[in-house]
Structure 1
Amino acid sequence: MTQTAIPYHLFRGGTSRGPYFNRADLPADRDTLANVLIAALGSGQKLNIDGIGGGAAVTTKVAMLSKSDAADIDIDYFFAQVSVEDQLVDFKPTCGNILSGVGPAAIEMGLIAPQGETTRVRIRAVNTGAVVEAIVATPNGTVSYEGPAKVDGVPGSSAPIYLNFMGVVGSSTGALLPTGAVRDVIEGVEVTCMDVAMPIVIARAADFGLTGYESAESLDANRDFFAKIEPIRIKAGALMGLGDVTKSVTPKFALLAPPRHGGTITARYFMPWSCHPTMAVTGAQCLASCVLTPGTVAQGLYTAPQGAPALVRIEHAGGEIDVTVDYEMDETGFHPRSAGLLRTARMLARGEVFVPSSIWSGKT
């Protein structure tokens, strides 16, 4: 046989999409795993014509699930970001949108049994160590995908999935402010380097001659802008302790502007070489924390929410995302405890995806 068959479930998770695998069905060796994912998604061509990727960073994401060996965790979630064109796989970050589908996928795969009308799934993000509780609708012992919940960037409505993120501070760097400062000046631009669920370099849109209300498409077409932010991102990555990030999708980059539609703040989020059509779940948590932290580049762009927990409404390129942040503030600064979001997911297909046997024979 010239091809190796690998079982998979295809899910939309939040505003992202990709295959969900049982980790046991994939090679253990990291290099072989990367080659298998590149082949499965069709990385190396802008349309991913020879794989099941969708020709965009939000549709070339992969979730790999397994039962956890930790007593208080149900599912270990290992994430991979596969590039669209460069035949690269980044195992450093995690993805909160794809995480939205982890609970339903784990139930569909038989990795966890439904518990009643709703099922609570305790998930460990292997890439970062963060713990997330997902509450999934499971009436009559099966996952429900129909309901009234709406997510900007996704057509129609679906059953709600409630996510509560814990232990997200310093997800990749070990610190809320990995450079040790609330603001840094890099390449002449003032930025805040923050790590909550996702390390991000955050700047004001106005400092790049932008309004912050540009569409994702117009920003993607502005290659001069990307030429300006990439040196900043690379230098920030080194300052944040992430090493050489030239070929890594972390840290991400984000721009902030005042809100226009009654939200808390406006943001554009970069992945990092294209603008996210909506907003990453992990990115939303970090940007909400930036808003609530005194002295960051967000200061002066918004009216701060009062009290804890605080609801931070982020206006993005595709609508709005709400983040509820529980935190405490003392003389040493801002200390987030957890962040809650509402997402949806839907199973789109299941079956087998094929990769050439020359890449992997299926023998681990």
Structure 2
Amino acid sequence: MTQIAIPFLLMRGGTSRGPYFLRSDLPENMDQLSKVLVAVVGAGNATNIDGLGGGNAVTTKVAMLSRSERDDADVDYFFAQVSVDEEMVDYAPTCGNMLVGVGPAAVEMGLVPIDCETTTVRIHAVNTGALVEAVVQTPGGEVNYEGDVAIAGVPGTAAPVALNFLDVVGSRCDGLLPTGKEREEIGGFEVSCVDVAMPMVIGRAEDFGISGYETADELNANEALFARMEKVRLEAGRRMGLGDVSKSVVPKFGLVSPARAGGHMSVRYFMPWKCHPSLAVTGSQCIAACALVKGSIMGGIAKPIAPSPAVVTIEHPLGEMDVTVTYDRSGDTLRFISAGLVRTARLISRGEVMVPKAALDVEEKAGETA
């Protein structure tokens, strides 16, 4: 046999898409795991023609699930960002959009029993240690995907998946402000370095030579912009305690500008070497938190945010995203407590993905090393 079959669900979670696996069906060895995921996605080619990827960073993501041994969680969610045109896998970040599909996938996989009309799934995000509660619609003893909730970047409507993110401050770094500063200058640019759900470097769009209202395609064609951002990002990563981030997608980059459609601010979110078509769920929380920090780069850009709990509306290339933030402020000290969002997910297909045996050691089979 020249190929090995691995069971999977192909799901859309929020504005991302990818295969969802049982962790036990994949190699435990990380080098082997990376080879398998590269083969699954078809990484190393701009079209991902030889795998399940879609030629875009939002469609080359992988979720791996298992029952959690933690008392406060039902499911462990291990995320992998597979590169589009390089044979590379990054396990440093998590993905909030793929997380939207974790609750439904956990129920579909039998990891969590159905509980009446809705089922609450407590998720431990392995990559960052965050805890998330997902409320999944399960009327009649099965996951419901049909509903009237629309999210920007996805056609049509679907059933809501309510998410409540806990313990998101300092996902990879030391605290809300990893450098200890509300804003600082790096390479001639003023930025704020923030870590809530996702480490980010956030700057003003106009400072980087753009309006902040361009489409994702327009920005992706702006090589000079990416060169400016990457120089700042590399130094910011070092200052944030992340070390050499030249081969890591963390920290992400965000450029903000005043809102134009009634929101609190407008953002262009970078992953970091491509502009996100819309906005990452994790990034939305970090941007909302940055707007709450007095003295941050958001000063003069973000509209005032209401007392906690407050809904922060963030405009992005395809529309807007609402984040409900719970926080406490004592003087100038901010304590970010939690963030909540409502997103949607859909099961697209289920079956087996075929992986060349060459991706594994000669006698090793997927599932036998876990």
TM-score range, shorter chain: over 0.9
1:129 aligns to what? 129
Counterpart mapping for 1:155-234 below 5 A: 155-234=155-234
Q: Which amino acid aligns with 2:118?
A: T
1:295 aligns to what? 295
Give SS of 1:72's match. coil
Q: Which amino acid aligns with 1:209?
A: G
Q: Percent identity?
A: 58
- 1:233-261 CA-to-partner distances (Å, cap 9, x unmatched) read 00000000000000000000000000000
Q: Which amino acid aligns with 2:182?
A: V
**CA RMSD of the aligned region, Å?**
0.7
- 1:239-290 CA-to-partner distances (Å, cap 9, x unmatched) read 0000000000000000000000000000000000000000000000000001
Q: Provide the C-alpha distance between the structure 1 equivalents of 2:189 and 2:32, rounded to a whole number of angstroms.
A: 40
Q: Provide the C-alpha distance between the structure 2 equivalents of 1:231 and 1:291, rounded to a whole number of angstroms.
A: 24
Give SS of 1:340's match. strand
2:141 aligns to what? 141
> Contact 2:294–2:332 at 8 Å: present in 1 too?
no
Q: Displacement, 1:72?
A: 1.9
- 1:166-190 CA-to-partner distances (Å, cap 9, x unmatched) read 0000000131000110111000000
Q: Displacement, 1:332?
A: 5.1
1:323 aligns to what? 323
Q: Which amino acid aligns with 2:210?
A: L
Deviant stretches of 4+, over 3 Å:
none
- 1:95-135 CA-to-partner distances (Å, cap 9, x unmatched) read 00000000000010111111010000000000000000000
2:247 aligns to what? 247
Q: Displacement, 1:302?
A: 2.4
Q: Provide the C-alpha distance between the structure 2 equivalents of 1:43 and 1:302, rounded to a whole number of angstroms.
A: 38
Structure 1 residue 71 and structure 2 residue 71: aligned? yes
Unaligned runs of 5+ in 2: none
Q: Provide the C-alpha distance between the structure 2 equivalents of 1:303 and 1:25, rounded to a whole number of angstroms.
A: 48
- 1:213-245 CA-to-partner distances (Å, cap 9, x unmatched) read 011010000011001110100000000000000
Please report the TM-score for the alignment, with normalisation by the length of structure 2. Answer: 0.97
Q: Displacement, 1:340?
A: 0.3
2:305 aligns to what? 305
Give SS of 2:359's match. coil
1:12 aligns to what? 12
How many residues of Structure 1 are paired with residues of Structure 2 in the alignment? Answer: 364
Unaligned runs of 5+ in 1: none
Q: Which amino acid aligns with 2:218?
A: S
